[in-house]
Amino acid sequence: MPDRRTLEILAATALPPGRVLPGAAAHTVTRARALLGEVMPAVAAGYDRLLLALDACSLIAHRARFGHLPAAKRLDVLARLARGEVTRLVLRGLLTPLKLAYFDDPSVHAALGCRYAVAPPAPPERRRWHERICDASTLADAEILECDAVVVGTGAGGAPVAKALAERGQAVLLVEEGPLFTRQDFTGRALPALQAMYRHGGTTAAFGNTIIPIPLGRGVGGTTLVNSGTCFRAPPPVLAAWADAGLAPLGGDGLSPFYEQVEAVLGVAPSTTAALGAPARLVAKGCDALGWSHHALARNAPGCDGQGLCCFGCPTDAKRSTNVSWVPLALERGAQLMTGFEVRRILRDSDRVVGVAGVTTGAGAPKCLTVRARVVVLACGSLLTPGLLERNGLGRTSRQLGRNLSIHPASAALGVFAEEVNAWRTVPQGYAIDEFASEGLYFEGAQMPLDITAVSLTGFGPAYVSLMERFSRTFSFGFMVKDSSRGRVRGRRQGGPFITYFVNEADRARLQRGFALLARVYFAAGAEAVHLPVLGFERLESLADVERFERATVPVRHMDLTAYHPLGTARMGVEPLRSVVNVEHEVHDVNNLFVCDGSVVPSSLGVNPQVTIMAMSLRAAEGIHRRLERLQARERRRGIAAR
């Protein structure tokens, strides 16, 4: 556990008292130590090394350990760390637990006029379909279950195909590694949500010429549980390119009837002006001044009241993530749902799959369970499906498994205004700028709650505290790149996937242009300053600063990036030597194994992919149903012959 005295001095330096904020105190350090010991053990293991690096920098600069320096020199040490390519990551690691501990506090939220948490509603009336849900840990060890189709994963890929098969009369079992969350679990607090509903606490990341976090949901609903609810159809040029590549059923209007079904189930429509709030108004103002095209985003959240918590569990269930849309629809039509079950083996009989086996992940000692099925549908997502296939020796004929990863590299900037914005109580991602979509740049809102915003900002000391005290006068907006870079996913026996991704020069230039264009929108809307997560350009105060940024060549490792839309790692294609699944979503080298998630999407979309994944899964369900009918008819014929 990190030395308490050193942490107290670091906390007092990084988070001093401000105009309304009291500054870090003893309880901040107590909570930070608890976070490191209980919530962030992987970080705790290396935290003492970060403190040693802090002392080393202090000794080099001022010939004294950090804790022995006066306040001004301590700030100088932190500033030196902030200016270095590597040492800025050291500083981020040092300050993140302290910032989380300080800002995840009801008194700090109250001082800044922000809501800290939401009260859970009364438990809902139990519906009949709830009887079709079971926790795998309640079953006996070595239990064998049987069904027509087992669907592994309950997100954008798995839940729609389960509903479509169930309504056609097939016996469907949905299995999910994580638990089932309900409104009673959605407290409005970001930190507990990250711990509970994100895989590895949201720390999944790609490694290459920079580190890019790719947050994944873990629970019924998959990542739809924690996404922003944005809904786009694939752009026509993308569909045309797929058709040109031999995937004719996906081109033209091939997916249109499935898109229509998806949009009807999700209630896709733009948010109301009231829910969009001041951030959308200011973005529109800036775009109008520049003559740029902009619009309200279509979302799957009818009745949204703009509480700003989409990524941490919608407290009103207005966002129709699959846990409140497709999964209940599947259960109403006879499907079963088993939670807390991790699939590890795909069972084979010669050239066909016959089920899956795995272990329970809930309370108690792990139990081994087997599911026998006529067909297996994998819907674990682009980062997990390849590993499951690889560990089972499947999908490897083309050597494309795990390759071709696109992720839509993304980032955001913070604008500071003279007026009250109160972005924390608006739709986090409700508005867009599409002026530069043809260049592969799409701009969408990216507002986060107070504590997550505090961690994302790289500052410290009096200037940082002053900025956070103006939180109500700020808002974040983001952008993403339709990437031409490609990465790779490799499965591991333990832990998460190992992801590599190198941003190429074309995408680096797009990212830099995205920051510059976004800054211009802010200043056109009247911003006093723009904060970029870019080394050396953290605060822009005028268009002259924007122009200085545009003239520079900023390495991608100097930008703080994230990504949210991994696609393509088991891509669809007509040639078995160049793809993993065929146009019917079936794995080329084995029968009765289908993949219905983002991994089969043939290329980067340039827009949020959840609606496309759902539409493709509904289309796949038709072919899977036909396969099941043939298998069932064959079994009936064999039964008659045997008699």
Choose one of 88, 103, 118: the last residue of a domain.
103
Q: What phi and psi values does residue 294 have, to the nearest 5 degrees?
A: -155, 160
Least confident of 259-263, 314-318, 325-329, 530-534: 314-318
Q: CA separation (Å) from 46 to 13, 54, 460, 616?
A: 21, 13, 21, 43
Q: What phi and psi values does residue 270 have, to the nearest 5 degrees?
A: -65, 155
What's the N-to-C CA distance of the chain in angstroms? 71
Reported as a single tens digit per residue, the pLDDT across 129-172 is: 899 999 999 999 999 999 999 999 999 999 999 999 999 999 99
Choose one of 535, 558, 581: the last residue of a domain.
558
Choose one of 48, 79, 103: the last residue of a domain.
103
β strands within 389-507, DSSP E = 410-416, 431-433, 441-445, 474-481, 487-490, 498-501
Q: Is residue 76 in some structural domain?
A: yes
Cα 581–Cα 587–Cα 592 angle in degrees, nearest 5: 135
Reported as a single tens digit per residue, the pLDDT across 270-289 is: 999 999 999 999 999 999 99
Q: What phi and psi values does residue 605 have, to the nearest 5 degrees?
A: -95, -35
Of 125 and 320, the structure prediction assigns the larger pLDDT to: 320
pLDDT of residue 47: 87
pLDDT of residue 643: 53
CB atoms within 10 A of CB 140: 8
Sign of torsion over alpha carbons 271, 272, 273, 276: negative
pLDDT at 618 over 70: yes
Q: How far apart are CA 299 and CA 232, in angstroms?
A: 8
Q: Cα-Cα-Cα-Cα dihedral of 221, 223, 227, 230, to 10°?
A: -80
Domain co-membership, 472 together with 539: yes
pLDDT at 642 over 70: no
Nearest CA to 591 out of 392, 375, 391 is that of 375
pLDDT at 2 over 70: no
Strand partners of residue 498: 490
Q: Is residue 30 in some structural domain?
A: yes
pLDDT of residue 4: 83
Judge whether 102 and 28 are in contact, CB under 8 Å: yes
Q: CA separation (Å) from 183 to 123, 131, 189?
A: 8, 18, 13
Reported as a single tens digit per residue, the pLDDT across 24-81 is: 989 999 999 888 877 666 667 788 889 999 999 999 999 999 999 999 999 999 999 9
Q: Tokens in use for 127?
A: 């519906």
DSSP 37: I
Q: Tokens in use for 469?
A: 């005290």
Return the CATH number at 539: 3.30.410
Average the pLDDT over 80-86 and give the result: 94
Reported as a single tens digit per residue, the pLDDT across 168-188 is: 999 999 999 999 999 999 999
Amino acid at 457: L
pLDDT of residue 496: 79
Domain co-membership, 425 together with 291: yes
Judge whether 549 and 516 are in contact, CB under 8 Å: yes
Domain co-membership, 461 together with 532: yes
SS (H, E, C) 11-28: HHHHCCCCCCCCCCCHHH
Q: Is residue 577 in some structural domain?
A: yes
| Domain, as residue range, for 546 | 269-299+410-482+504-558
pLDDT of residue 34: 87
Judge whether 431 and 294 are in contact, CB under 8 Å: yes
Judge whether 511 and 481 are in contact, CB under 8 Å: yes
Q: How far does Cα 86 stand from its chain's mean position? A: 25
Domain co-membership, 190 together with 239: yes
Reported as a single tens digit per residue, the pLDDT across 371-424 is: 999 999 999 999 999 999 999 999 999 999 999 999 999 999 999 999 999 999
Average the pLDDT over 249-259 and give the result: 95
Q: Is residue 376 in some structural domain?
A: yes
Amino acid at 396: R
Q: Is residue 345 in some structural domain?
A: yes
Q: Is residue 435 in some structural domain?
A: yes
Q: Is residue 213 in some structural domain?
A: no
Reported as a single tens digit per residue, the pLDDT across 339-370 is: 999 999 999 999 999 999 999 998 889 999 99
Domain co-membership, 539 together with 462: yes
Instruction: Report, as residue numbers or ranges, the catalytic residues.
Output: 565
Domain co-membership, 186 together with 256: yes
Q: How far apart are CA 639 and CA 143, in angstroms?
A: 26
Judge whether 310 and 427 are in contact, CB under 8 Å: yes
Sign of torsion over alpha carbons 435, 437, 441, 442: positive
Q: Tokens in use for 331?
A: 């259960």
Q: How far apart are CA 227 and CA 311, in angstroms?
A: 5
Q: Residue 471 burial by CB count (10 A; 0-12/13-18/19+): exposed, middle or buried? A: buried
Q: How far apart are CA 262 and CA 612, in angstroms?
A: 9
Domain co-membership, 275 together with 257: no
CB atoms within 10 A of CB 494: 4
Q: What phi and psi values does residue 305 have, to the nearest 5 degrees?
A: -105, 10
pLDDT of residue 126: 82
Domain co-membership, 24 together with 78: yes
Q: Is residue 108 in some structural domain?
A: no
Looking at beta carbons, which pairs linking 329-333 to residues 24 or more positions away fall under 8 Å? 329/163, 329/265, 330/159, 330/162, 330/163, 330/166, 330/172, 330/174, 331/129, 331/130, 331/132, 331/133, 331/166, 332/128, 332/129, 333/163, 333/166, 333/167
Return the CATH number at 606: 3.50.50.60
Domain co-membership, 166 together with 21: no
Domain co-membership, 159 together with 251: yes
Number of independent structural domains in the chain? 3
Which residues lie closer than 8 Å to 222 by C-beta, 6 or more apart? 153, 154, 155, 156, 158, 216, 322, 379, 381
Domain co-membership, 422 together with 536: yes
What rounded mean pLDDT belongs to the chain? 95
Domain co-membership, 510 together with 376: no
